Amino acid sequence: MSELRHDPIQRRWVIIATERGLNPTHFHMDKESSSEAFCPFCEGNEDKTPKEIYAVRQPESTADGPGWRVRVLPNKFPALRIEGDLERKGVGYYDNMRGIGAHEVVVETPFHNEDWADMSVANISKIMQAYTLRIQDLCNDSRFRYILVFKNYGKGAGASLSHAHSQIIALPVTPINVAVELNSAKEHYHLKERCLFCDILQYEIQSGDRIIRMNERFVAYAPYASRFPFETWISPRYHSYDFAQSSATDLTYLAEILKDIVMRLNRSLNQPPYSFVLHNTPNIRGEKKRINWWETIRYDWHWHIELTPKITPIAGFEWGTGIYINPVAPEKAAKYLREVEI
């Protein structure tokens, strides 16, 4: 029989529709193929992209030339632009501001067909380091309230180019999905003087039913109210509110568990499209409009990563209600991924 589960972090209900009788093997995807004739992200095509903002390079290489491992570039077609003032104003009943922000692309590898499952842990760690450095730099701009890091892998997840890349967008507002989580965490802390995420992780680790993989510093698990089959969250096992403050050792352990999870998804679902989203702290160094708003965020917020394979559609019911139907129980999905040989 199906059941409704409530997510205390995202404050939404999810229907776990186990009566549909679908097993993890039903979601084995047809592998996507690349038909691109030319890729501007491949090594040797640096003159076809905007000038790099940051790069991990070999000592003898020069900027905007070959010899790099990771490059960060301005997006050629940005959703938001960095120049100008916000010019907040009311338009009748509505609020309006200019499209001010930053939009960057992280080219994760010089090799066209390489992704996290193929890379070394050291190379993935360099990508994570690029994220931290760019977040730190963008947070110096008081106009930006939130820095979003995300990756779309495969056409089914919305990737326009198959070459491995992720994106960073600095926003002048806090996204609603993150705002809901921030409020949940803040209210839980004010009520219990404990971190909501730490409480959940402690229970999940003790239970073990939804744990996929753990190492010394991180845990990967299927959330209790998973919205999608094989949805996986990765969190620090210790309390940490700001991803950008992660040490080199932290990033190595994170890279190890990311590679492991992507390899498990690839092996079990035949390299499915997926989305990777980092839920980090807002920019608390930015311009503050509300007194004491970030008073406890160092104690109540806990950064985490949401990695979601795109193997089921979002249809009218989900759009109409905000309630997701997941045909695979997270306990079954976690067990299946946990037992995959990689």
CATH number at residue 254: 3.30.428.10
For residue 335, what pLDDT is reported? 96
Torsion sign, CA atoms 239, 170, 275, 105? negative
For residue 261, what pLDDT is reported? 98
For residue 111, what pLDDT is reported? 96
Q: What are phi and psi of 35, to 5 degrees?
A: -115, 15
For residue 336, what pLDDT is reported? 95
Cite the beta strand spans of the chain per DSSP E: 3-7, 12-16, 54-57, 68-74, 89-91, 94-96, 102-107, 146-153, 165-171, 211-214, 218-221, 232-236, 274-279, 304-309, 324-326
CB of 286 within 8 A of CB of 145?
Answer: yes
Q: How far apart are CA 75 and CA 317, in angstroms?
A: 34
pLDDT averaged over consecutive 10-residue blocks of the chain (342 residues)?
A: 91 85 58 73 96 94 95 94 90 90 97 95 98 97 95 91 96 94 96 97 98 97 97 98 97 98 95 96 75 83 97 92 94 95 86
**Domain annotation covers residue 221:** yes
**Domain annotation covers residue 181:** yes
CB of 302 within 8 A of CB of 198?
Answer: yes
**Domain annotation covers residue 250:** yes
For residue 289, what pLDDT is reported? 59
> pTM of the full predicted structure?
0.92
292: left (phi over 0), alpha (psi -120 to 50) or beta: left
The first and second tokens of residue 276, run together, are 């990777």
Q: How far apart are CA 128 and CA 208, in angstroms?
A: 27
For residue 88, what pLDDT is reported? 87
**Domain annotation covers residue 283:** yes
**Domain annotation covers residue 306:** yes
Range of the domain at 194: 3-78+95-338
**Domain annotation covers residue 219:** yes
**Domain annotation covers residue 85:** no
For residue 279, what pLDDT is reported? 97
**Number of domains composing the chain:** 1
Q: What are phi and psi of 251, to 5 degrees?
A: -65, -30
For residue 216, what pLDDT is reported? 96
**Domain annotation covers residue 86:** no
